[in-house]
Structure 1
Amino acid sequence: MRGTLTTIAILAAAALAYPLSCAVRPYRDCWVCKGSGHHRATGNRKLSRPCRWCRATGKRLRLGRRAWNRARRIHRDAT
């Protein structure tokens, strides 16, 4: 019983902490270019091209922030 309550408390804290962290830091480093904005060609260290996943910015919206923006857009369009 005690372990179950602890698990529920930890999950509740995580459920509250993730949206808060998405509000504070909505962007994360791109997983393809690792934040540089350029994707290196395989086998050649000197060749690089702009990263198409982050559009050469090096940053991408986090999943939670993307969901929040979509929910706000749906709400705004409905009212």
Structure 2
Amino acid sequence: MRGILTATGVVLVAALLYAGSCVVWPFGDCWVCSGTGHHRSASARRLSRPCRWCKAAGKRLRLGRRAWNRARRLHRDITR
């Protein structure tokens, strides 16, 4: 029983830390271009094109921040 409570506490603390980091740092590096904004071709070393996932910005909205924004929008629409 004590192990279950400890595991629950650890998971809760980890979730709170992740939520806090999403508030402080809402954007992370794009996973496709590694934050450069350009996607390199596998066949040619120099050929690159703008990254279509981040639209050449190099940053993407983190999953936790996206969920927070959606929850806020849903709450706002319900309360109107």
Query: Fold conserved (TM > 0.5)?
Result: yes
Aligned match of 1:56: 56
Aligned match of 2:30: 30
Aligned match of 2:39: 39
Q: State the Cα distance separating 1:3 from its structure 2 match.
A: 2.1
The AA in structure 1 aligned to 2:72 is R
What is the TM-score when the length of structure 1 is the normalising length?
A: 0.91
Counterpart CA distance in 2 for 1:46 and 1:11 is 44
Q: State the Cα distance separating 1:5 from its structure 2 match.
A: 2.2
Secondary structure of residue in 1 paired with 2:72: helix
Q: State the Cα distance separating 1:76 from its structure 2 match.
A: 2.0
Number of residue pairs matched? 79
Q: State the Cα distance separating 1:2 from its structure 2 match.
A: 2.9
Counterpart CA distance in 1 for 2:3 and 2:76 is 42
Give me the CA root mean square deviation.
1.1
Aligned match of 1:21: 21
Q: State the Cα distance separating 1:75 from its structure 2 match.
A: 1.9
The AA in structure 2 aligned to 1:66 is R
Q: Which has the higher mean CA deviation after the structures are superposed, 25-34 or 4-13?
A: 4-13
Q: State the Cα distance separating 1:36 from its structure 2 match.
A: 0.2
What is the TM-score when the length of structure 2 is the normalising length?
A: 0.90
Are 2:1 and 1:5 aligned?
no
Aligned match of 1:69: 69
The AA in structure 2 aligned to 1:40 is R
